[in-house]
Structure 1
Amino acid sequence: MRRACWPSPSRARSAAPRCGRRPWWRSSGSSPRGDPNVAQIPHSHFVYLEGLRLRGTDEQQRLLFGEVLAGAQIANAQSERGTKTVRDIRTRLVKRPGGALVLTGEKHYATGSLFADWLAVLALDGRDRLQVAYVPTDTPGVEVVDDWDGMGQRTTGSGSVHLRDVPVDPRLVLAQHVTLSGPQLYGARAQLLHAAIDAGIAAGALADAVDVVQRLSRPWFEAGVARASDDPLVIQRFGELTCALRAAEALVARAAEQLDALADTTLTAEDAAGASLAVATAKIAADRAAIEITNALFEVAGTRSSLDELNLHRHWRNARTHTLHDPVRWKVQHLGRHTLNGLLPEQHSAL
């Protein structure tokens, strides 16, 4: 079994790392500033804690919130490969003779699983209802495999999880089908975090573009200037990129304010839809800003920016990889349907 590569916060409490991989702060350039890998690792931690806050029983909250307050981290084990769509689940939570609950299945892209103490596992019960089973990563039958090989977001710990007759505490099973029923903000909150990560990638790339152009880039000879930062065409492009970034950041902040305003209120279908569409708008803008700015970085900085020693391509690789999460083309569809025909979007975990 291959597990997390730094100390377990809630069990061993050891200061020694559990294996010898390079620390994240040395994996993406010289500074951890704006590292989207670090931002994505706890994404599921926050999302599944929100599910507990919304629908968890007092006992579930007492047990798991207590673990988290003691330092534990939760990761997801939700996505599966080879299914018809990303929403199809084959992992089963079944009751054996005698009443014992067990999990069996294969999960992939389990972000943060290598660093986690608990897994939030999506599974279907005997009535084909979606459940979340909270399982300690050191439970017999759990194997977390360090096999994520994406071109970007390389240090998110998004390995595979093999579940072989894993015993489950029945007190730690949450009805996900109930969480996602009726008007809810669960999906919008999860999507807002993804939008913030994309905006952060864009901001980090723009900051590095400024640094490289000011320190390393040479002006194009036709510009007739002494510094690349004085080239009017480069200045024009930085103005455009700044506008794209600030628009994305503003939309993320606005969507967050809208979600906060609805917190702990009795939601109507219109409230939930409005919040989801606000987050969808932010996600579209952040997605586009991240892709545009991480690509334009090389355009404004010149040939030297492509050198591996600068590792600037990490921004584009991270953006291109992370923005594949929940395609924005469908968010555009929901916005268009609502604006043109007044249709409310379906409530689910990806909107």
Structure 2
Amino acid sequence: MAHVITSDTEAIETATKLAASFARASALRDAERVLPRAELDELSQSGLLGITVPRGHGGAEVGAGTLGEVVRLLSAADSSIGQIPQNHFFFVEVLKENGTPRQHDFFYAELLAGRRFGNALAEKGTKHALEFATRLVPDPSGGYRLTGVKNYATGALFAHWVPVFALGPDDRLTAAFLPSDAPGVTVVDDWDGIGQRTTASGTVRLEDVHVPEDRVVPHHLTFERPEVFGAFGQFIHAAVDAGIARAALEEGGELIRTVARPWGESGVDRASEEPLVIQKFGELTLLVRSAEALLERAGAALDAARRAPADEHLATEASLAVTAARAQADTAAVTVSSEVFALIGTRSALRGGNLDRHWRNARTHTLHDPRRWKIQHLGNHALNGVTPPANGII
């Protein structure tokens, strides 16, 4: 059985300790694509995967701000390990929103025992990311049958449960929770991205899988009322990017202090004393600190909206706060992980150091959904008072 964390403070303390451990071999795991199975087992046993379980079911029910800090800390240590639980926490929220009391009792116990959720959401070949072709078909013997192919299934390879987005018989979006070893479920490790190399964000094949009725959640109901569900999912993504940005800044700073040489015209003995290096590093630090500050503010806005779930104004403010955090974390991660190379010099490009993993991770993870639409929604609200759409990705 996993340890059960009981407070926000304990959650952050636990994440801090695990992050220090996970960071030690992070560069090696990326370079050799060593999947973090042992590390994820350790994460499960630590109790961190159960920290959003409601108090009434034995969990800590930590605030969004705490969860964001936990994910940021893990991502700064190893951004693949930080991203893998994103969909885990996402589907805990799916259950919270529309699960039945019986489903809550069963799955919350699973979570507190250290069980992991993966995901089977995205599909290639549909018109856009919010369109799904996979369907639940009624089974004459009871329940449903499910056939389809899902892609970019981060965490599914390591999961005990694989939640699947599918259209129900009424064409409305549902979530079906499948055991990863259910007959007809195959998880293929075919992820070959340039970054986030050990997330195993591969393919899930579903071949005539039987789905009991009590494993289906009517997810479409979430968007028929004021909600911050979409903002919550984006918030965790922002925490991953903020973690990558911090990791690139800190590793880059260490290399500037220890191996970089000053430019000959500078008149100083160390690169870390060169005024132009200090100035540029200050600008990069500002990007990271602003991303972290916006992440903290977004967490507070989410918590405020959750305390008053019928308040549309608070829901809008939470969505906007998360949108800003996500956009800024995107910029910070991609910019810092690129610009530190110029401050260190040629040595930073050697493969042995694997400094480029931060840029590859940032560039890959920030492709999840476009920054340009974050800016669009921020501008349209500020200029025209248009509320961001309730579509699950803002």
| Alignment partners' CA distance in 2, 1:62 and 1:297 | 49
| 8 Å Cα contact 2:244/2:361 also seen in 1 | yes
- The 5 Å alignment of 1:174-213 reads 174-213=217-256
| Alignment partners' CA distance in 1, 2:309 and 2:275 | 53
Q: 2:216 aligns with which of 161, 165, 173?
A: 173
The corresponding residue for 1:309 is 352
| 8 Å Cα contact 1:305/1:312 also seen in 2 | yes
The corresponding residue for 2:178 is 135
After superposition, the C-alpha distances for 1:169-217 in whole angstroms (9 at most, x for unaligned) are 2101001111222210111111000001101100000001111111111
- The 5 Å alignment of 1:183-332 reads 183-332=226-375
| 8 Å Cα contact 1:24/1:155 also seen in 2 | no
| Alignment partners' CA distance in 2, 1:247 and 1:157 | 30
The corresponding residue for 2:30 is 28
After superposition, the C-alpha distances for 1:1-36 in whole angstroms (9 at most, x for unaligned) are xxxxxxx99xxxxxxxxxxxxx86741379x85211
| Alignment partners' CA distance in 2, 1:331 and 1:203 | 22
After superposition, the C-alpha distances for 1:119-171 in whole angstroms (9 at most, x for unaligned) are 11000111111000000000000000000000000101211000001011210
After superposition, the C-alpha distances for 1:259-303 in whole angstroms (9 at most, x for unaligned) are 112224232322211110110001111110111100111011111
Q: Secondary structure at 2:131's aligned position in 1?
A: coil
Unaligned runs of 5+ in 1: 1-7, 10-22
Q: Which moved more, 1:295-304 or 1:62-71?
A: 62-71
| 8 Å Cα contact 1:152/1:320 also seen in 2 | yes
**CA separation of 1:206 and 1:25: change in aligned 2, threshold 3 A:** closer
Q: How many residues are paired up?
A: 330
Q: Percent identity?
A: 49
**CA separation of 1:207 and 1:25: change in aligned 2, threshold 3 A:** closer
| Alignment partners' CA distance in 2, 1:26 and 1:59 | 43
| 8 Å Cα contact 2:309/2:315 also seen in 1 | no
Q: Which moved more, 1:93-102 or 1:46-55?
A: 93-102
**CA separation of 1:260 and 1:29: change in aligned 2, threshold 3 A:** farther
- The 5 Å alignment of 1:149-168 reads 149-168=192-211
Unaligned runs of 5+ in 2: 3-24, 33-73
Q: Secondary structure at 2:114's aligned position in 1?
A: coil
| 8 Å Cα contact 1:107/1:162 also seen in 2 | yes
Q: Secondary structure at 1:339's aligned position in 2?
A: helix
Higher share of residues assigned helix? 2
| 8 Å Cα contact 1:104/1:166 also seen in 2 | yes
| Alignment partners' CA distance in 2, 1:77 and 1:172 | 15
- The 5 Å alignment of 1:60-79 reads 60-79=103-122
Shift of 1:345: 1.2
Q: Secondary structure at 2:77's aligned position in 1?
A: coil
Whichever residue aligns with residue 233 of structure 2, its letter is: A
- The 5 Å alignment of 1:11-90 reads 26-28=28-30, 34-90=77-133
Shift of 1:347: 0.9
The corresponding residue for 1:20 is none
Residues 1:119 and 2:119 are matched in the alignment:
no
Q: Secondary structure at 1:76's aligned position in 2?
A: coil
With normalisation by structure 1, the TM-score equals 0.91
Q: Secondary structure at 2:369's aligned position in 1?
A: coil
